[in-house]
Chain A
Amino acid sequence: MAYQFDWGLVVSGEYGVMLVEGLVTTLKISALSIVLSLGMGTLICVMRLTKVKALEWLSASYTEFFRNTPLLVQIFFWYFGSAAVLPVAWNKWLYAQDFEFAAGVISLTVYTSAFIAEDLRSGIFAIPKTQLEASRACGLSFLQAMGYVILPQAFRIIIPPLISQFLNLIKNSSLVMTIGVMDLTYMARQIESQTFHGFEAFTAATLIYLSISLLVSAAIQIYNVRVLRLGR
């Protein structure tokens, strides 16, 4: 029997609504994780640049460990493993909340912040060392020098890799379907199993992901052109 296409299925009606809901969840979890991983990544990077050995070692192991293990395993660890160490009462409370969503945010944040910390570190290395020395000589503390002098310049340098990290995060957020967060991928999978019209469902979801990515890359292109023009 030949496959009957039914595109109306994903464009309107119940299943169209499901896809939109999924998209909203994907955007929500991505936006929250982007903001948190930016903060976390900066913290880890600054810790690594302090001259305190313990902090340096801690942040270096953090980046190495979380960059070199699969995100899916991390998601499972936070969702199944982290709650198991907590007292039973806390556990019950956690699962009564939206723990799937929280575990998703934690995993995406921890994973992406390790990559952001590395990008930021290379951005900081691109700034002449004398900048830090001069700011220290002006009487700023290490943290003040970082916050007011070094980081603002470093962030400007690493905007392109940073944005591609954010794009990766949006795409990686599809993995949270495995712990039951009802994101775009989850919804597409759901439509497939309810209607057996996987072709339409996955095409629609792919097109949505693709438009997000292309929109963001177009924004980078425009930014690059403007910065290159202004920078000269």
Chain B
Amino acid sequence: MHWEVVWNNMSYLLLGAYPKGPLGGLALSIVMALVGIFGAFWLGLLIGVFRLSKRAWLRVPALVYIEIIRGTPLLMVIFWFYFLAPVVMGKSLPGEQAAMIALIVFTSAYIAEIVRAGVLSLPKGQMEAARGSGLSHTQAMIYVILPQALFNMIPSFVNQFVSLTKDTSLGFIIGVTELTKAATQINNRTMNAPSEIFIAIAALYFVICYVLTAFSRRLESRINRYQARGR
């Protein structure tokens, strides 16, 4: 075994060429994941609420968006933004930006479905009571329905964020030097320790994702207990 290859290249795996060059490696993966989570949450929330709207011109486009994105591999979505940007805008997007936009667009469709399920699982009386006390539909949504629905949906969100974190590895395909790309670069240069390198980065991803998963499991049992007490 050649574990020294992993140790000797650890700073490249963790930070990329930083501070002499651009940020890369695990640090870039984490940045991409955080931007992706932030963007996908708000876009997904918006689309999920549109999907529930009574107005067809909001509901139908949201439905089409969700169905198209969920029926397509993420890799395709990444290619859309990476290869089609030059066609549409006349200039190409840097890989990091294309990957982050693709991650946001892709994950938002799944978040939207979670939001929809969360809102639909609330008793109908909540909306009726909120409307009955004089709130508009939008106000009732923002002040009464969404806070409860989002709270119940936290574990599903976290699971989706774990997926997103794993999906940052696809930046590899369009040349973003995040963790997976950094690992393949080291593998191509050293040639003698492929198992060690890929086991090492799998372990790095695992630590982050497992912590999130364990967190979501704890939240889930807490939320279940909280709900049980409420009844």
Contact = CB atoms under 8 A, between A and B. Distances in A.
A69 B84 contact: no
A184 to B, nearest CB: 9
A185 B76 contact: yes
Contacts of B83: 192, 198-199, 202
A11 interface: no
Contact of B180 (A64, A68, A70, A217): A70
A213 B173 CA distance: 23
A76 B180 CA distance: 9
Contacts of A82: 195
Nearest to A3: B87
A178 B173 contact: yes
B162 interface: yes
Interface string B68-86: 1011111110011001100
B56 interface: no
Contacts of A206: 72, 76, 80
A202 B184 contact: no
Contacts of B168: 70
Contacts of B76: 174, 185, 188, 202, 205-206, 209
A35 interface: no
B194 interface: yes
A210 B206 contact: no
Interface core residue of A67, A209, A217 (most chain B CB under 10 Å): A67
Interface residues of B, number: 40
A147 interface: no
Given A68-B206, A73-B201, A73-B205, A202 B80 contact: yes
A126 interface: no
Interface of B: 67-68, 70-76, 79-80, 83-84, 87, 162, 166-170, 172-173, 180, 183-184, 187, 193-199, 201-202, 205-206, 209-210, 213
20 contacts: A3-B87, A65-B202, A65-B206, A67-B209, A67-B213, A68-B206, A69-B166, A69-B209, A72-B169, A76-B180, A77-B198, A81-B197, A172-B73, A177-B75, A178-B172, A188-B79, A189-B79, A202-B80, A206-B72, A210-B68
Interface of A: 3, 64-65, 67-74, 76-77, 80-82, 84-85, 171-172, 174-175, 177-178, 185, 188-189, 192, 198-199, 202, 205-206, 209-210, 212-214, 217
Given A77-B202, A202-B83, A206-B80, 7 more contacts: A68-B206, A70-B180, A74-B202, A76-B187, A82-B195, A171-B74, A175-B170
